[in-house]
């Protein structure tokens, strides 16, 4: 449907592993362990990809970038988001705004959030005030609280481009 506005939601989880870099929102965060995945396991960028794909009803990131495809082994998730951005452009939509939350017990992410927003805004061709990144712990509860993994959620509003 050729709607003027479309909303999308994305959710992703990766587990922690030794000898991996922790990359969130395209930014490398100093930590004792990182997230495991076929790609660089950037859980925030994956959630944003899924939110955009969801708004367009184009399935999910697993369909577009199968983890059985060696092309995406250790893939830079910034490139995956870039691909999704151009897909969105093909459908003549642009980003209204993105809101997101990273669920992580440690480390504290506040110092890195401005850089994440800058990286994401650059890829999506939007301004910093169109991309919100928040972070929360889960008060020691569940897989996030036990530092077994990290989750991210994102919602996006897409607007139909003017002719
Ligand atoms: Zn993922």
pLDDT tens figures, 59-91 = 999 999 988 888 888 889 999 999 999 999 999
Between 65 and 45, whose confidence is greater? 45
| Percent above pLDDT 90 for the chain | 89
State the distance from the centre of ligand 1 to the C-alpha of 37, rounded, in angstroms: 7
Strand 131-136 with 34-35, pairing: unpaired
State the distance from the centre of ligand 1 to the C-alpha of 46, rounded, in angstroms: 5
Q: Structural domain of residue 9, as residue ranges?
A: 5-160
> Would you state the pLDDT for residue 148?
98
State the distance from the centre of ligand 1 to the C-alpha of 13, rounded, in angstroms: 6
Is the pLDDT reported for residue 163 higher than 70? no
Is the pLDDT reported for residue 139 higher than 80? yes
Strand 34-35 with 22-24, pairing: unpaired
State the distance from the centre of ligand 1 to the C-alpha of 113, rounded, in angstroms: 19
pTM: 0.96
The mean pLDDT of 90-99, rounded to a whole number, is: 97
Q: How many domains does the chain have?
A: 1
pLDDT band at 35 (very low <50, low <70, confident <90, very high): very high
Q: What is the CATH number of the domain that holds 130?
A: 3.30.1330.50
């Amino acid at each position: 449907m050729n709607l003027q506005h479309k909303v999308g939601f994305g959710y992703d989880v990766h587990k922690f592993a030794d000898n991996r870099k922790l990359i969130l929102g395209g930014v490398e965060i100093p930590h004792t362990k990182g997230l495991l995945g076929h790609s660089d396991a950037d859980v925030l960028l994956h959630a944003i990809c899924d939110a955009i794909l969801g708004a367009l009803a184009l399935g999910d990131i697993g369909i577009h970038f199968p983890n059985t495809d060696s092309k995406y082994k250790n893939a830079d998730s910034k490139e995956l988001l870039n691909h999704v951005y151009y897909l969105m452009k093909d459908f003549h939509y642009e980003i209204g705004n993105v809101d997101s939350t990273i669920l992580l017990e440690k480390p504290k992410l506040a110092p890195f959030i401005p850089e994440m927003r800058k990286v994401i805004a650059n890829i999506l061709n939007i301004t910093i005030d169109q991309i919100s990144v928040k972070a929360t712990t889960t008060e020691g509860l569940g897989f996030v609280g036990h530092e077994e993994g990290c989750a991210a959620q994102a919602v996006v509003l897409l607007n139909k481009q003017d002719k």
